[in-house]
Every structure is written in C-alpha cells, then in structure tokens.
Amino acid sequence: MKKTLHKVWIGIFLLLSSVFFAVNATGNACAQVTFKRLLHSSEEPQNWLTYSGDYAGRRFSALDEVKTANVRSLVVKWVFQTGATGKLETTPLVVDGVLYATGQDDRALALDARTGRPLWLYQRQLPADIRPCCGRVNRGLAILGDKVFLGLLDAHVIALDAKTGNVVWDVAAVEYAKGYSFTLAPLVLKNLVILGVSGGEYGIRGFIDAYDADTGQRKWRFYTVPGPGEPGHETWEGNSWKTGGAPAWMTGVYDPATNQLFWPTGNPAPSNRGEGRAGDNLYSNSLLALDPDSGKLNWYFQFTKHDEHDWDATQVPIMIDSGGKHLIAQANRNGFFYVLDRSTGKLLSSNAYGKITWSNSKDNEGRPVPTKESSPTPTGRTVCPGALGTTNWMSPSFDAQTGLFYVSAREQCDIFSTAPQPYEAGHAYYGSAYFPSDEAEPYWGAVRAIDPENGLVKWEFRHPSPTWSGVLSTAGGLVFTGDAEGNFIALDAATGKPLWHFQMGGAVYASPMAFAVDGREYIAIAAGSSLYAFGLP
C-alpha cells in the first residue's frame, strides 16, 4: 500500500511539474514560437519573427515610438561585433527580448536584445573547398518552436536549440563541391523549413526544399529546372537543363489565405551566354506559386526569358491587398516593377523604375520584350541596367499607410560580352564577362518610393554610390536604409526627406528591422562587421 501511495505522489508531482513548465514556457522570455504566432505576427509588433517581418514580405514595423517628430534624437543603444571579416548580410529575428542573427562564415548567435550581450554563439566549421559565389555570407535564420534554422555554405541545413545554440539536427541537402550552397534565411510555415539553393554561377540545377522542422527529414524538393518529361523541360536546348542554374537564393513569402508559397528564382546558367541553351529556360528568373504541402507548382510568371544579363529575379516579392485585389509586386533586377494577380499569376502592370535600354516594347501579356541589340556579343554591348541590376537582393518594403513600395535602386550600365565556356563541375560558369560601361554616367544609387497603383516613382533619395542596403518602413512614418558609405539614414516615408543619419564606419550589406523590448523601440542594422541597435534616449 505504501509503495502504491508513493507512486501516486510521484505521478501527481510529474503531472503538476509538466503543467508548471508548460505554463512557464508560454509566459517567459523564451516562449515557444508557434505557427499560429507566425501567422499573426502583426499582433506582436515588438517581435520580428520572420526574415521579412511577416509572411507578406512587407518589411514593415507597426512600432511608432520612433517617428518623424523625434527621429532626430535617435542614438546607438548597443553594438555587437562579430569579430569576423567579410560582408555581414544578416537580418535578425527578435522573439520576446532575445535577438537571433547570423554572421560571416556561417556564424549564428543569440543576444539580449536590450543590451547586445551574447547568450550563445555558434560557428560552423566549414570545409576549405566550399564555393560561395559572392562572399561567405548568410542572410538570416528562421524560428519555430524552440529551434532556429539555418542554411549553410556547405549546403547543409541545420536546426539549433534556440536556448543553447546546440545542434539539434543537421542534414546535407546536396553536394557542395559542385557549387551548391545556402545563403538565404529559411522560411518556416506549418511544420516545414523551406529554403532555396544558391550557386547559379556554377552551373547547378536549382531547387527549393522543404524539411520537417522536428526531424530534418526532407518532405519535398521542387527543381527549378524541369527534368525530362516535366512541363517546361522543352524550354532547354539539349542537355543544358542539367547545368541550367535557376537558383532560389532569397526568401519567399506565403499567403495563408490561399495556402500558396511564392518563391523567386535566379538566372539561367551560364549567366551571360544564351548560346547552347536556346529557349525560355524555365523556371529561371521567375516567380513560382507552390503548394507548400506538396511542393507542386500552381503557376509561374517568368520576368526575363532566356536571360543573358545575370538578372536574377530573386528579389523579395511583396503581397499587397488593395481595393479588393490580391496582388504580388516585385521590383525586379531587370529594371521593371511588376504587379501580378497572386491568385493566377496574371501580369497586371510592368513599369520601369530605373534606366533601362534592353527593351522598347511589350508582348501581348504586357511583359517587356528584349531588343536584339541587347544581347551580349563577343566584342561587348552596353546595356542598362548592368549585371548587378536596378536592384538586387536587398529587401524592399511596403507601407500600407502611405501605399508606397520602397526599394533601393542602382543606376549602372555595363558592357556585356560573351564567349564559349565548357562546363566543369564546381567551377565558375559565366560564359561571359561584364564591365562597367565607360560611356555611362558614374554609377549611383537611390531609395525610390513607387506607387504600385501606377508604377510611378513618387520620390527618390539619392546616394552618391549604389547601396546594398535594404529598406524598412515603420508606422512612425519613417523609412530606414543604409548606404555604401556607412550611413544609417531615416527618411520621411511620405516625401523622402532625410531626417536623421548616423555614420557606422562600415558599408551596409543588410536590410534593417525593428523590434521592442520593455515597451522601447529599437531599429537594428548590420554594417561593416557589426550589428547596431538604435533607439530613443
């Protein structure tokens, strides 16, 4: 009898303790991040739960403590130095006072978001022969439950314990030695970790993967270059599909209303030589609408067919609801601002938002058509925009209050030349070279505010050189951005007038975000090798 009572007490204790820990887990600083919280991220503007701040990709913060009237008082609250060299491209996440970010060479870290003091640090031991095309960079992570997720330069996907940084699971997605890598922040939805591969400069065959968040088991893969027998395969000449590129190296967006995942894709390979891959080269430079449960394609829209200028369409698209219409908009690297019906993929408008010389007509769908004169030649042709595009991977922002789409634009033309190049696995595969055009004006940059209703640029704030900084808009009537000269800048969202700036001492290769702790708003941005957080005194 005594033994039985003892067992009962133990049972009661375990039951009570499990209830206690369950309650505590939803009320303390390390609360579980559920899919429901991700769906309703707008209800907790103090947190920044996904790469773009919400599933719509808006990079908009509803926080308004910092506003046009007081932004001149903004000061540095803390700085965290990664201690590494190279570009720091991260957008942090913030969950209940804890900031999670990535760093160069596949670092990951958790900080006290109030002070910048580290809670844990993770450093991937990367193989010596990884093949990142454009720096040993990582743009961020995703969070679900008590795990954070990263894609790595060695083409692995990992889950870390959000409280310790310990590895929970680690899976190899593909063989990195052939030029595959991950550089983007994954997107989490339901119980899936979704990410696309980098490596378009190496003649890879691009794909988008979904992994089980609990186990790391791959649930589906969508190849962005269709194989034999698949629709779209006929858009590739011969065996060119095997090395067709079409990477998917930026984070997509998700529409819970229609359960559609929208993911942008990059250039066909070789990037600047169309000879040998005749056809449209689907699904390069496209926006894909996928069923996130199965990875099946619902529709696609290809922005640049048979690209020969390295104009990846990987820019983060933004879902906009306006006048009963459900739209998705993208400021594309090729210089056009596109608005699509996101239910069908139908093109609604395309308007140039920078200097373009490659098209002077549109097809029946309204898609810009390239001129014959824009195609690269052995001796070279000047084309605008240049290979780095009118914009690139830096995130845009949409503010429903102003109704404006903000984007960092570049003005640069290049001379594109082309030459035969045999494919060799794991080696650069450009088929070309491009050089800044001596005939063009010195290149420069700008933040531009585009009205999606008509595609017109409402205002512009000019940089002396092109920036690699993204844009954040806030309910305080502000647009934040950085520049190549190291400034962090606040603009009036309605007019583009500069209201405040701070010299951070290093060029910006990242997109800003905002969060709040203890009711105080912070704006964060990476510059040089440091992460900065600003707030009011």
Partner 1 sequence: MVEGKGGRVGPDLTAVGISRTVESLVESVRNPSQRLAWGLTEPTKEFAQRYETVTVVTPDGKEIKGVTLNEDSFSLQVMDTAEQIHLFDKDKLRSIKKSRKSLMPAFDPGTLSDQDLNDIIAYLLDLAEK
Q: Catalytic residue positions?
A: 310
- Applying CB under 8 A, the span of 24-32, 75-83, 194-202, 436-444 interacting with partner 1 comes to 436-444
Q: How far is the CB of 368 from partner 1 (least distance, A)?
A: 25
507 binds partner 1 (CB under 8 A): yes
Find residue 102's DSSP bridge partners.
Answer: 108
At 459, which amino acid appears? W
CB-CB neighbours of 7 under 10 Å:
9
Q: Which is nearer to partner 1, 216 or 486 (CB)?
A: 486
Q: How far is the CB of 381 from partner 1 (least distance, A)?
A: 16
498 binds partner 1 (CB under 8 A): yes
487 binds partner 1 (CB under 8 A): yes
Residue of 489, 516, 524, 525 that binds partner 1 (CB under 8 A): 489
533 binds partner 1 (CB under 8 A): no
84 binds partner 1 (CB under 8 A): no
61 binds partner 1 (CB under 8 A): no
Residues 6+ apart with CB under 8 A from 197: 155, 173, 174, 180, 181, 182, 204, 206, 207, 208, 209, 247, 248, 249
Residues 6+ apart with CB under 8 A from 379: 417
Q: Are 439 and 382 in contact (CB under 8 A)?
A: yes
Sign of the CA dihedral 22, 23, 24, 28? positive
φ, ψ of residue 416 in degrees (nearest 5): -100, 125
Residue of 436, 440, 453, 495 that binds partner 1 (CB under 8 A): 436
CA-CA distance, 16 to 224, in Å (whole number)?
51
434 binds partner 1 (CB under 8 A): yes
At 530, which amino acid appears? S
SS3 at position 176: helix
How is residue 491 written in tokens? Answer: 């603009």
Binding residues for partner 1 restricted to 231-260, rule: CB under 8 A: none
Q: x/- string (CB under 8 A) for partner 1, residues 124-163? A: ----------------------------------------
Q: How far is the CB of 126 from partner 1 (least distance, A)?
A: 22
486 binds partner 1 (CB under 8 A): yes
Q: How far is the CB of 253 from partner 1 (least distance, A)?
A: 29
Q: Which is nearer to partner 1, 187 or 493 (CB)?
A: 493
Q: How far is the CB of 483 from partner 1 (least distance, A)?
A: 6
Binding residues for partner 1 restricted to 363-392, rule: CB under 8 A: 388
Distances in whole angstroms, Cα of residue 535 to Cα of each of 70, 81, 277, 336: 11, 18, 52, 35
Residue of 129, 438, 439, 518 that binds partner 1 (CB under 8 A): 438
Residues 6+ apart with CB under 8 A from 202: 131, 133, 178, 179, 180, 269, 426, 427, 428, 429
27 binds partner 1 (CB under 8 A): no
> Mind giving me the DSSP string for 321-387?
EETTEEEEEEE-TTSEEEEEETTT--EEEEEE-S---SEEEE-TTS-EEE-GGGS-BTT-EEESS-T
497 binds partner 1 (CB under 8 A): no
Q: How far is the CB of 464 from partner 1 (least distance, A)?
A: 5
Q: Which is nearer to partner 1, 380 or 403 (CB)?
A: 380
Binding residues for partner 1 restricted to 439-468, rule: CB under 8 A: 442-443, 461-466
Residues that bind partner 1 (CB under 8 A): 388, 412, 433-436, 438, 442-443, 461-466, 483-487, 489, 498, 501, 503, 506-507
